[in-house]
Chain A
């Protein structure tokens, strides 16, 4: 790391290079993930001594039921929660950047619902026509999220200033439309009904290493790719025309963010079901903590999103043990009031 020369000018205006800031955040995030992750491993329906957990992990002990619980249930679940949280938060942050609106999130825009609809179509086919489509569920989810993101894209392409109300209303309309189709599917395919409903609720209880390996690539690749567009997203904050004048190909940028974003959402939704509001809450808090510069805000969102969903999932499985609360309910409980607060503050200020 290079340090700036200590001339007076640079000391006062030498904005510390973003890399040192991001590096600092990564270090903090890494250690808090290790610590909170280990604490989270201690929670569950079964009480296991922390020392025991430690030795199970170090000795890679999987032969007895305690080993099975740690290695096959708690660990993959924990990692799945973190990957999903990371992807949801980063997509939330980049969507807010590209649409210039902090009230945006893939869940509110209906992208998650699109992915869910795609997956439900796969389930319905499976039950009504006997086609075995389960392995292609993520493909259907991807297709569904593309459709809904395309609707958002159509809306945001022509207008340079997309008012909050338009964005939210279109999100509501897309969500209604998709849930209507899902209801229809539920009515048609009786046998698949339960499996669809429980799938829609969103939970991580069936996390496995296999699912983790499926979700890891799109989550990490998408996150890094979106962070690489951070500078361009900063320019977008000035306005679309201003970004164009700063040399940003905004059309390409939008396509880039929307395509990678819907890919990440489809991956997450395929394996965890619908978990809302993470993409709304986390970038908002990240912006308050580290400022709006996307180069720092997006990595911070990724880390905080992982931690947030990890904590929410730990709560979900321990508050009412042995019963589980759907994790989506917990994120919504935290996210919805914040959403209303943001909406109110926007209305109080200047209409934006």
Chain B
């Protein structure tokens, strides 16, 4: 893990509103390489919007979003696709593609329509499937496999895109316990190998605490706190943001906080 002093992603005074309804207000944030960053907060606090602002799908009304010290508005979409890839929350694939075809789609930013995929593209895709343990159903079709398998295919596709930043939007929504564990291992592994940074929105606070190096707690479009899971997940913060009193215990083996009802 190389520690770089320059931030890879920074938001400077970013405000975004949708239909004149403020979603994010005056966000100042710098994300440094080599970290697994979790974004948490109640529904409607602007978590997903933040991801979209970083990847340039949405443009803020105020402020600047920078990736690699460049304003995202100046980065062409195709180039952006080589920097950031995204694992969607849940996605419906419109037609019944084969799994391997879906993973190959991760190579779209790199290939020419008329030339098609080349051998390195196949090899990168193959590796991505191998790492996500999805080789076994590569020949199956997307509508035949389970929700957990689909999620791994999406991660394989995102890794085949060879990004520097991987973003995930509540990737665990459909997964059972073993899948959650496996996927978090895959992600940690990828972060060690080639990724500069992982930014993930979490719904599940315990998983966020388990996966992340740094947590951003959003509340009504503003950043409540940023810090390690230990710093962020405490009774004071959670009560303030979620408006219920949670009980917080320490994980028996790892020194991370876990929330129980």
Complex alpha-carbon distance, A101 and B104, angstroms: 22
Known: A15-B117, A244-B57, A245-B57. A237 touches B108 (CB 8 A): no
How far, in Å, is A13 (CB) from chain B's closest CB?
5
- Of the listed stretches A3-11, A316-324, A326-334, chain B binds A3-11
In the complex, which residues of chain B have a beta carbon less than 8 angstroms from the beta carbon of A97? 94
A101 and B125: CB pair below 8 A?
A: no
Contacts of A229 in B (CB 8 A): 113
Contacts of B122 in A (CB 8 A): 4, 9-10, 13-15
- Tell me, in angstroms, the Cα distance from A211 to B99 when the chains sit together: 45
CA distance A255 to B205 in the complex (A): 42
- A residues within 8 A CB of B100? 13, 15
Is B93 an interface position by the 8 A CB rule?
yes
Quick check: A238 and B86 within 8 Å, CB to CB? no
Q: Kindly state whether residue A234 has any CB partner on chain B within 8 Å.
A: yes
Contact with B along A161-188 (1 / 0, CB 8 A): 1000000000000000000000000000
**Which residues from A are CB-within-8-Å of B86?**
241-242, 245
In the complex where A10-B122, A248-B77, A249-B77 touch, is A292 in contact with B116 (Cβ < 8 A)?
Answer: no
Q: How far is the CB of A293 from chain B (nearest CB, A)?
A: 6
> Of residues 239 to 259 in B, which have CB atoms within 8 Å of A's CB atoms?
none
Instruction: Encode contact with B along A246-285: 1 for CB under 8 Å, 0 otherwise.
Output: 1111000000000000000000000000000000000000
B residues near A (Cβ < 8 Å) are 52, 55, 57, 76-82, 84-86, 88, 91-98, 100-102, 104-106, 108-109, 111, 113-117, 119, 122-123, 125-126, 129, 138, 157, 161
Q: Does A295 contact B (CB under 8 A)?
A: yes
Chain A residues whose C-beta falls within 8 Å of the C-beta of B101 in the assembled complex: 15, 234, 291-293
Q: Please report A residues at the B interface, Cβ cutoff 8 Å.
A: 4-5, 9-10, 13-15, 17-19, 97, 100-102, 161, 228-232, 234-239, 241-242, 244-249, 287, 291-293, 295, 352
Residues of chain B lying within 8 A (CB to CB) of residue A10: 119, 122
In this complex, the member of A235, A239, A246 whose beta carbon has the largest number of chain B beta carbons within 10 angstroms is: A246
B77, A287: Cβ atoms under 8 Å?
A: no
- CA–CA, A13 and B78, complex, Å: 26
Which of A19, A234, A249 touches B108 (beta carbons < 8 Å)? Answer: A234
Given known A-B contacts A236-B94, A241-B88, A230 and B117 have beta carbons under 8 A apart: no
Cβ B93 vs Cβ A247 within 8 A? no
- Contact call A292/B104, Cβ cutoff below 8 A: no
Q: Is A291 within 8 A of B79, CB to CB?
A: no
For the complex, what is the distance from the CA of A58 to the CA of B142, rounded to whole Å? 51
Q: Which residues of B contact A102 (CB under 8 A)?
A: 94-95
Closest to B135 in A: A13
Q: Are A237's CB and B93's CB within 8 A? A: yes
How far apart sit A244 and B55, CA to CA, in the bound complex (Å)?
9
Assess A239 versus B98: contact at CB under 8 Å? Given A10-B119, A247-B109, A295-B116. no
Closest-by-CB residue of B relative to A102 is: B95
A residues less than 8 Å from B96 (CB atoms): 287, 292
- Cα distance, A19 to B78, chains bound together (Å): 23
Known: A13-B126, A247-B78. A237 touches B97 (CB 8 A): yes
Given A13-B138, A101-B94, A291-B98, check contact A238 B105 (CB 8 Å): yes
**CB of A351, distance to nearest CB on chain B (Å):** 10
Question: Residues of A contacting B114 with CB < 8 Å?
Answer: 19, 228
Q: Shortest beta-carbon distance, B48 to chain A, in Å?
A: 10
Beyond A245-B84, A245-B85, whether A228 also contacts B94 by CB under 8 A is: no
Given contacts A291-B97, A291-B98, contact A235 B108 (CB under 8 A): yes
Question: A247 contacts B104, CB within 8 Å?
Answer: no
Is the pair A246, B119 in contact by a Cβ cutoff of 8 Å?
Answer: no
Q: List 8 A-B residue pairs with CB atoms under 8 Å apart, sorted by A's residue number.
A: A9-B123, A15-B100, A15-B104, A239-B92, A241-B52, A246-B161, A291-B101, A293-B97
Q: Is the CB of B109 within 8 A of A246?
A: yes
Known: A245-B81, A247-B81. A100 touches B94 (CB 8 A): yes
- B92 proximity list for chain A (CB < 8 A): 161, 239, 352
Cβ-defined contact, B95 with A287, below 8 A: yes
- Given A241-B86, A242-B86, A292-B96, A230 contacting B77 (CB threshold 8 A): no
Q: Which 3 residue pairs spanning A and B have beta carbons closest together?
A: A247-B81, A292-B95, A247-B78
Task: Kindly provide the distance from the CB of B205 to the nearest chain A CB, expressed in whole angstroms.
Answer: 25
* Complex Cα gap A100–B92 (Å): 10
Q: Is the CB of B88 within 8 A of A239?
A: yes
**Complex contact B57–A241 (CB within 8 A):** yes
Residues of A within 8 A of B84 (CB): 245
List of B residues within 8 angstroms of A4 by Cβ:
119, 122
Instruction: Quote the shortest CB–CB distance from B108 to chain A (angstroms).
Output: 5
Given contacts A19-B114, A248-B77, 12 further A-B contacts (CB under 8 A): A18-B117, A237-B97, A239-B92, A241-B88, A244-B55, A246-B109, A247-B80, A247-B82, A247-B109, A248-B108, A287-B96, A352-B92
Whether A228 touches B77, Cβ cut-off 8 Å, given contacts A238-B102, A287-B95, is no
